[in-house]
């Protein structure tokens, strides 16, 4: 007897395998059809979650999740997704019980690092069927960081698929959940307006989530409008991926510094804070000045009212009354908890596609 309900098996069969060892580092690896098929699979898994918990189709499979940076949702939702499908979840936290790791090539390791990523990745690849990694950028080295060097090092040496649990350039598991949520909120998201807006934050946060949110909206064919203050431009490659996906999916993409223009007639407003990687706002003091000067970019109910009215999304964690007003966050237009729950189903789809064939 099959361990998968018919609807899940059919949705799984529709997901293409992808090259590059099955790695999921940007989330773009499966291609547009693959991304959409993963979304369908996520919905099928959500519908049949109880049956899958009983049949445990990934029993005997192991996911190792290594978190160089903090996490609530990614860590927990991946754990829950593994549990739902019967896979084991092993959590690894560098800095808390793991050997200090070296990443440089051709190095003589007579400093503090006890283990090179080459061996660490190779060993984890012998223990686990998939390795997940969260590693944020080190500010000030954007040209190097945008290639997601920690993830690439593991991808080169683990011998098993690497799943990006948020890197410098992409947060693809969040992107799957975001795209699922666009579909949940709108039914057919194609040609529906998504406003993705920069929001104030005292810290210089990474750009990974906003990149993945743009790609998610573009992949489901939305008319995506990105708005941010001058000086907070995204990486040209991230914008290029959005343009390409939008063209392929039949939607559109444009950028404006005029937030009212972005919010007008929007059906979804997606807020995210990020730090500049170039220009005067890229330094800590420049960011502090920008944060003080740009507090009116906080998303408020009056902003959502400029839409149809719009629903509100944010990846969380979120600072209330800084990024978004508390009444929006707690009000009926907020979809942030549905969005967070969809982390489970998007990641379960990815796990099944990687391990369940």
Residues of this chain that bind ligand CP (CB under 6 A): 71-74, 166, 174, 315-317
Output the smallest distance, CB 75 to ligand CP, in A. 6
Kindly give the interhelix angle for 236-249 and 31-47, rounded to the nearest 10 degrees: 80
Closer to ligand CP by CB, 72 or 114: give it.
72
CA distance 68 to 285: 26
Output the smallest distance, CB 318 to ligand CP, in A. 9
Task: Please report the DSSP string for 222-289 in residue order.
Answer: -EEEEE--TT-PPPHHHHHHHHHHHHHHT-EEEEES-HHHHHTT-SEEEEE----SSSGGGSHHHHHH
Closer to ligand CP by CB, 72 or 305: give it.
72
Q: How many residues does the chain have?
A: 357
CA distance 210 to 58: 31
Output the smallest distance, CB 200 to ligand CP, in A. 18
Q: Between the CA atoms of 198, 204, 206 and 207, what dihedral angle is there, to the nearest 10 degrees?
A: 30
Nearest 5°: phi and psi at 272? -155, 140
Range list of β-strands (E), the chain: 62-67, 88-92, 101-102, 115-116, 130-134, 162-164, 193-198, 223-227, 252-256, 268-272, 311-313
Output the smallest distance, CB 174 to ligand CP, in A. 5
Closer to ligand CP by CB, 125 or 206: give it.
206
Nearest Cα to 178, choosing from 31, 346, 41, 349? 346
Output the smallest distance, CB 146 to ligand CP, in A. 19
Output the smallest distance, CB 219 to ligand CP, in A. 18
Closer to ligand CP by CB, 325 or 347: give it.
347
Closer to ligand CP by CB, 246 or 324: give it.
324
Output the smallest distance, CB 69 to ligand CP, in A. 8
Task: Please report the DSSP string for 22-48 in residue order.
Answer: G-BSSS-TTHHHHHHHHHHHHHHHHHT
Closer to ligand CP by CB, 73 or 193: give it.
73
Closer to ligand CP by CB, 222 or 315: give it.
315
Closer to ligand CP by CB, 145 or 223: give it.
145
Strands 252-256 and 62-67: unpaired
SS3 336: helix
> Can you count the helices (H) and strands (E) in the chain?
15, 11
Output the smallest distance, CB 179 to ligand CP, in A. 14
């Amino acid at each position: 007897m099959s361990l998968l309900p018919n609807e899940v098996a059919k949705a799984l069969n529709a997901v293409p395998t992808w090259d590059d060892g099955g790695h999921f580092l940007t989330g773009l690896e499966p291609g547009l059809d693959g991304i959409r098929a993963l979304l369908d699979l996520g919905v099928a898994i959500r519908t049949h979650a109880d049956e899958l918990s009983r049949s445990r189709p990934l029993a005997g499979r192991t996911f190792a999740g290594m978190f160089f940076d903090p996490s609530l949702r990614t860590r927990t939702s991946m754990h829950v997704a593994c549990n739902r499908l019967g896979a084991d979840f092993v959590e690894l936290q560098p800095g808390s019980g793991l050997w200090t790791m070296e990443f440089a090539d051709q190095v003589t390791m007579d400093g503090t690092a006890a283990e090179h990523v080459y061996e660490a990745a190779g060993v984890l690849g012998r223990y686990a069927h998939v390795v997940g990694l969260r590693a944020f950028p080190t500010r000030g080295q954007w040209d190097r960081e945008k290639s997601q060097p920690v993830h690439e090092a593991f991808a080169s040496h683990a011998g098993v698929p690497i799943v990006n649990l948020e890197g410098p350039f992409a947060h693809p598991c969040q992107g799957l959940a975001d795209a699922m949520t666009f579909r949940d909120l709108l039914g057919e998201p194609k040609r529906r307006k998504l406003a993705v807006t920069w929001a104030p934050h005292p810290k210089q946060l990474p750009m990974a989530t906003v990149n993945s949110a743009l790609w998610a909206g573009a992949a489901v064919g939305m008319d995506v409008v990105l708005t941010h203050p001058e000086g907070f431009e995204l990486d040209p490659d991230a914008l290029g991926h959005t343009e390409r996906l939008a063209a392929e999916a039949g939607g559109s993409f444009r950028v404006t510094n005029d937030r009212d223009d972005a919010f007008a007639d929007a059906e979804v407003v997606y807020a995210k804070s990020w730090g500049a990687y170039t220009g005067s706002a890229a330094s800590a003091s420049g960011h502090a000045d920008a944060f003080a000067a740009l507090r009116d970019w906080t998303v408020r109910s009056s902003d959502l009212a400029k839409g149809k009215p719009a629903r509100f999304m944010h990846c969380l964690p979120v600072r209330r009354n800084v990024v978004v007003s508390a009444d929006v966050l707690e009000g009926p237009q907020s979809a942030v908890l549905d969005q967070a729950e969809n982390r489970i189903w998007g990641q379960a789809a990815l796990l099944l596609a990687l391990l369940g064939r």
